Amino acid sequence: MITHIDKRGNPTMVDVTEKQISHRTATARSIVSLPVEVLAHLTDGGLQTKKGSVFQTAIIAGIMAAKKTGDLIPLCHPLGLDNCNITISLNKTNEVVIDCTASITAKTGVEMEALVGASIAALTVYDMCKAMSHDIVIKETKLLSKTGGKRDFKRA
């Protein structure tokens, strides 16, 4: 069932009037692959460029974007998030792993907010590092989990 199409085939916002308010969370992940010349700038404090701290800037950008999801995705409900948290780390293959967790107590979930937050944080890493190399790849963005709606989801 496609939820954003009305009976006449026109785009529509999902009507959440009859839904119950519940605590809802969602976590999304983006992975960014950095070339060796960018990784050479990695220190204990993160990745530093002439523009500043890459990871700290990406965290702020991701949170700001998650809060604006309703303005960016046409049929998303505008939500006042209760919380948004972004963590950035390196995995065993030196890829940047960005996790965004959003939560709200509301009638609709926050999957899109988590996905937008992780995506914009990844794009910010790209933007801040592109002067060192354009061989940066945002490999994937995916939903890891969600709770509180009709059905919970957890990626295996």
99 is catalytic: no
Q: Tokens 């308010």 belong to which residue?
A: 21
C-beta of residue 97 within 8 angstroms of C-beta of residue 90: yes
Q: Tokens 């709200």 belong to which residue?
A: 104
Query: What element of type H or E holds 101?
Result: strand 95-106
Spatial CB neighbours of 74, under 8 Å, sequence gap ≥ 6: 11
Distance from the first to the final alpha carbon of the chain: 24
CA 105 to chain CA centroid, Å, is 19
| Catalytic residue of the set 6, 71, 127, 135 | 127
Catalytic residues: 127
